[in-house]
Amino acid sequence: MTTLIVGGGWSGLAAAVRLCQQGRQVHLIESARQLGGRARSIDWHGLEVDNGQHLLIGAYRRTLALLADLDQSPDSLFDRLPLSLTVHDPAYPPLQLNAGRLLPWPLSLVWRVLADNGWQVSRQLARLALQARRFNPHQDISVQQWLKNQRQSDRLIRQLWQPLCLATLNTPIETASAALFARVLTDTFRRRSDSDLLIPRRPLGQVLPESAARYIRQHGGQISLQIRGRELLVENGRVHGLVTNKGAQIEADEIILATPPGVSRQLLATHQSLPEPSHHAIATVYLQYSSAMRLSAPITGLSGTIAQWLFDRSDLRPGLVAVVISGPGYHEKLSKAALIDIIAREITPHLPAQRGTLSDALVIREKKATFACTVDIQQQRPNNRTEITGLWLAGDYVTNPYPATLEGAVINGEQTASQLIAEAAVSR
Ligand SMILES: Cc1cc2nc3c(=O)[nH]c(=O)nc-3n(C[C@H](O)[C@H](O)[C@H](O)COP(=O)(O)OP(=O)(O)OC[C@H]3O[C@@H](n4cnc5c(N)ncnc54)[C@H](O)[C@@H]3O)c2cc1C
């Protein structure tokens, strides 16, 4: 029996690979011209860049295990860096977060925070780390309220928590879920290796989509690009196929919708109601300076500016910088030219003197980059099991402990695949 997977993002691909591994036949349809979904590569004057600068962390266990199963060595795919971040703000001294190496974990982190930022900052960080582990997820509040309750200073809120909350939840602290943020903080700092930063060394399309597609085809699976699922065929509470945008009917007794939440909602509309999440955008601005230009660190944080994180991407092309702006804001109203102009000025103090002139720039705006991780979001995320027999949900939005991330997408793809197999075994 063939399982039809709708959507070739990281979740759909993870589901397809795991089903193939169990000897199942799969057919994956994807509406776009390429696989990868919200984590894909695009062509920029002959250079393959990502639709947004993605960052993974050492705690992404399922993603790293999936890549290893596809014979993709994480060492060849990522620059794995021990946590080392400096956040610059025009109003305050730089704030530093370093994992340290000399002492056992988490003492090394505590020691480095103390040495780099002083007693006041260390005390507040320690308090929040402790409270994050104790947070009751059933009594969610906004991150801002939680930070105030935990007596975090205005400086720490602005220079550390707001940028980290935007980077991880893509939601401003005023509306972001403290339960989710606390969970992310706890998991990221559980072990030293969990806090490692993994920067893709290759375009994202080459990280998972290419190897997953190869694996699926080698195992007899079929991948059809530029085919959009338009309507589900359901009879007596059981799915039996799908009609595509081309009017073709694909028969299938098992279907996984690994589509973004809005699309899954639409496809299911006449059968089951799914919550409608709101979304936030992420903008990525690539700036090309002279080939000799290098940033002083692979990643630099900024607060109090539109630009939030700078990535040195000279590995892709010498002199290339990626600037990330997460969440909603005034920048969304700016024209691309105005945004490039402002960002280039904002980051100038953080570039070396020999940067040369800005010779090229690219703005990529992903309007529905992620669902908004607002208060009580965890109670609203749907289960992967639908009310229709044979029909399953995957994708980053389906319930799991994480915000919209690659790891959440992979977890849900794999989980759905294993539940589908387990159920099929029982009903046989
Ligand atoms: C700019 C940006 C930066 C990000 N940065 C990070 C980061 O640093 N770290 C991190 O962990 N995560 C990051 N994310 C989030 C991460 O990319 C997503 O959580 C993840 O890619 C979601 O995967 P998915 O498979 O669930 O969904 P998607 O990637 O959205 O995949 C769904 C697929 O379904 C296809 N589709 C839609 N409708 C249909 C249809 N009717 N029929 C067939 N196919 C259809 C779509 O084309 C798409 O390929 C970022 C996202 C963006 C946009």
How many helices, marked H, and strands, marked E, lie in the chain? 15, 20
Would you state the structure tokens that stand for residue 135, as one six-digit string? 């947070």
Question: Taking a C-beta distance cutoff of 8 angstroms, is the pair 26, 16 a contact?
Answer: yes
> Rounded to 5 degrees, what angle do the CA atoms 200, 79, 97 make?
105
Cα distance from N-terminal residue to C-terminal residue, the chain: 12
> Rounded to 5 degrees, what angle do the CA atoms 362, 367, 370 make?
115
Domain 2-47+59-64+202-277+374-427 has CATH 3.50.50.60: yes
53 φ/ψ angles, rounded to the nearest 5 degrees: -70, 110
Rounded Cα distance between 256 and 270, Å, is 17
Residue 340: C-alpha distances to residues 37, 247, 360, 362 (Å): 25, 43, 10, 8
Point out the ligand 1 atom lying closest to the alpha carbon of residue 10. Answer: 25
Rounded Cα distance between 342 and 38, Å, is 26
Cβ of 384 below 6 Å from ligand 1: no
pLDDT for res 428? 66
Q: Spell out the per-residue pLDDT of the chain, length 428, in tens.
A: 799 999 999 999 999 999 999 999 999 999 999 999 999 999 999 999 999 999 999 999 999 999 999 999 988 999 999 999 999 999 999 999 988 887 787 778 878 888 888 888 889 988 999 999 999 999 999 999 999 999 999 999 999 999 999 999 999 999 999 999 999 999 999 999 999 999 999 899 999 999 999 999 999 999 999 999 999 999 999 999 999 999 999 999 999 999 999 999 999 999 999 988 899 999 999 999 999 999 999 999 999 999 999 999 999 999 999 999 999 999 999 999 999 999 999 999 999 988 888 999 999 999 999 999 999 999 999 999 999 999 999 999 999 999 999 999 999 999 999 999 998 887 76
Instruction: Determine if the pTM surpasses 0.85.
Output: yes
Tell how far the Cα of 342 is from the centroid of ligand 1, in angstroms.
28
List CB contacts of 100: < 8 A, sequence separation 6 or more.
108, 109, 111, 112
Domain assignments of the chain as residue spans, ordered by start = 2-47+59-64+202-277+374-427, 83-195, 279-371
Smallest CA-to-CA distance from 298 within 63, 22, 78 is with 78
Domain 279-371 has CATH 3.90.660.10: yes
pLDDT for res 106? 79
pLDDT for res 12? 98
Largest CA distance in the chain: 69
Pairing between strand 299-302 and 309-312? antiparallel
List CB contacts of 236: < 8 A, sequence separation 6 or more.
none
Cβ of 229 below 6 Å from ligand 1: yes
Q: How many CB atoms lie within 10 A of CB 137?
A: 15
Cβ of 344 below 6 Å from ligand 1: no
Tell how far the Cα of 368 is from the centroid of ligand 1, in angstroms.
9
pLDDT for res 171? 98
Quick check: bond before 203 cis, omega within 30?
no
Rounded Cα distance between 394 and 401, Å, is 14
Q: Tokens 């550390």 sit at which residue? A: 160
In 293-389, beta strands by DSSP E:
299-302, 309-312, 320-326, 360-371
Cβ of 9 below 6 Å from ligand 1: yes
In terms of phi and psi (left: phi > 0; alpha: psi -120 to 50; beta: otherwise), the region of 292 is: alpha
Cβ of 7 below 6 Å from ligand 1: yes
Would you state the structure tokens that stand for residue 231, as one six-digit string? 């309507």
In 172-228, beta strands by DSSP E:
197-200, 222-225
For residue 196, give the amino acid letter: D
> Rounded to 5 degrees, what angle do the CA atoms 29, 21, 223 make?
15
Mutate to test the pocket of ligand 1, among 259, 285, 311, 377 (most ligand atoms within 8 A of CB): 259
Residue 245: C-alpha distances to residues 195, 255, 260 (Å): 43, 17, 17
pLDDT for res 343? 97
Would you state the structure tokens that stand for residue 384, as one six-digit string? 């992967």
Cβ of 258 below 6 Å from ligand 1: yes
Nearest residue (by CA) to ligand 1, atom 31, is 9
